[in-house]
Amino acid sequence: MTEYTAVTDADRRQMLEAIGVGSIEDLFADIPEALRLAQGLELDAGRSEQEVYAELRALAARNVSTEDELSFVGAGMYDTYVPALIDALITRAEFLTPYTPYQPEVSQGGLQTMFEYQTAICELTGLPVSNASVYEGPSAVAAAGYVAKHATGAHRFVVSRGVHPHAIETLRTMSHSWGMEVVEADLRQGVTELPALGDDVAAVIVAQPNFLGAVEDLAAIAAAAHDAGALCIACCDPVALSLLRSPGECGVDIAVGEGQTLGNRLDFGGPSFGFFAVTEPLIRRIPGRIAGETVDLDGRRGFTLTLQTREQHIRRERATSNICTSQALNALAGVIYLSWLGRDGFTELGELLVRRTAYARDRLAALPGIETLHDQPVFREFAVTLDAPVEAVIERCLRDGVNPGYPLGSDYPEHERGLLVAITELRSAAEIDRLATVLGDAVVAERSGSLQEARR
């Protein structure tokens, strides 16, 4: 270990004595033996920079990116177009390292970024208050649940099975320590079927569109939640809000979501940012921070950090958040992207996605051995059922340079042969036709193989 750190054996002994511990092993006494590494790391001898670079290049060459294959995988992260303008702006020195502004009013540029971002999210969601972003979509859902728990005092969440599985898992993990019960509402014909809510429900949580691609009746779900004395939390695809009624119009109390599709690349699944908007009565429960607009003593426009609810800034028992950073650089990319498109461009993007998704859905549904999983309206994503083993079909498609979609069976056992197909603005009609050809051939080949195996 001394080869990699500047801490000597004498330093370690001095630190152990200071904290009253006999050995480093004593620090890990509460960790079960089965979870501890019994042997050393067996690190290679040191290598030169040139050798390390060559090794990393060889490892990187084993990856396949969406630039190397034709990808129709979505399920929460999407291969979208990121204009060159975004990198040109976010890599400027004043934006490249925005972090927690401990002396916020000195950082006028950072505060203005937050303010402009909040304004864009409020316009997008139709809600009056937005924070300066959170980590990503799933943690935003869990944070929204925490707000609802405190606002209502109830002890149950009713979450649609159409919410992203990772978000449900995050909510369950966090809810365990809050003493909250998480009840799942089933999907019927692709959309949420709410059970009788009864009382003691803190929030009804639904996705718009949901994980199977279907557009939900958000207004009806919000009304049902309010009738039961609960809040309604909507986890939204931000680009879908270019065409759908905003959460605010539908009566939603908290709108959250994953912001990756707003000017952020896939980047191996992160980083990205989560957005978080609420109605005005919930403003003091919102996690993170809010930047506000003001004027200085000379009457010039300025910005100030108006509200912080995290435990580093207020009494811990009153804090509603331990969020330590707000993914400011990724959120900045999001607001630049929205500004680049403008209102008309954003609507045109939504219309383009709807047309291409409808075209892809019709093309695949016309193929033998492929049926749509549901007939609900969709936006950029839709689910189909294959009359063949999904994983085997995907393997065949990958050999032809096409990744046809996301297998649903791991998250929805009842849809063992379900495939979720995502369309972005990068997928042309010709590429959708190629998907239809490759996927159709793969399904036919696997069906034939299964029939021959059955006859044996």
pLDDT score for 454? 53
10 Å CB burial of residue 1 (0-12, 13-18, 19+) is: exposed
Per the domain annotation, does 56 fall within a domain?
no
Q: Read off the pLDDT of residues 284-337 as tens digits, 9 standing for 90 and up.
A: 889 888 899 999 889 999 998 888 766 555 666 666 666 656 788 899 999 999
Same domain, 326 and 375: no
Residues 263, 121 share a domain: yes
Question: Of 160, 267, 136, nearest to 211 (Cα)?
Answer: 160
Q: Find out whether 282 and 146 touch, Cβ atoms under 8 Å.
A: no
Same domain, 330 and 287: yes
DSSP letters, 346-374, are HHHHHHHHHHHHHHHHHHHHTSTTEEES-
Does residue 250 share a domain with residue 353? no
Whole-angstrom distance, CA of residue 405 vs CA of residue 393: 10
How many residues in total does the chain contain? 456
Regarding whether 302 and 169 lie in a shared domain, the answer is yes
Q: What is the DSSP letter of 316?
A: G
Which CATH number does the domain housing residue 356 bear?
3.90.1150.10
The distance from CA 117 to its chain's CA centroid, rounded to whole angstroms, is 18
Q: 3-class DSSP state for residue 85?
A: helix
* pLDDT at position 452 over 60: no
* pTM assigned to the model: 0.88
434 in the same domain as 359 = yes
Q: What is the pLDDT of residue 41?
A: 79
Q: pLDDT averaged over the chain? A: 91
- Per-residue 3-state assignment (H helix, E strand, C coil) for 226-293: HHCCCEEEEEECCCHHHCCCCCCCCCCCEEEEECCCCCCCCHHHCCCCEEEEECHHHHHHCCCEEEEE
Cis bond upstream, residue 271 (ω within 30)? yes
Residue span of the structural domain in which 377 resides: 70-79+344-455
For residue 409, the number of C-alpha atoms closer than 13 Å in the C-beta half-sphere is: 12
Domain count, the chain: 3
Do 115 and 205 have their domain in common?
yes
Produce one character per residue of 196-222: b if its CB has 16 or more CB atoms within 10 Å, e if not: ebeeebbbbbbbbbbbbbbbbebeebb
Identify the residue whose tokens are 């809510």.
Answer: 197
- Enumerate residues 6+ apart whose C-beta is below 8 A from 180: 145, 149, 155, 156, 157, 202
Question: 103 and 38, same structural domain?
Answer: no
- Whether residues 307 and 273 share a domain: the answer is yes
> pLDDT by residue (tens digit) across 350-380?
999 999 999 999 999 999 999 999 999 999 9
272 and 313 inside one domain: yes
Q: Which of 182, 377, 176, 164 is nearest to 256 (CA)?
A: 164
Residues 218 and 95 in one domain: yes
Query: Based on the domain organization, do 204 and 334 belong to the same domain?
Result: yes
Tell me, what's the pLDDT at 194? Answer: 96
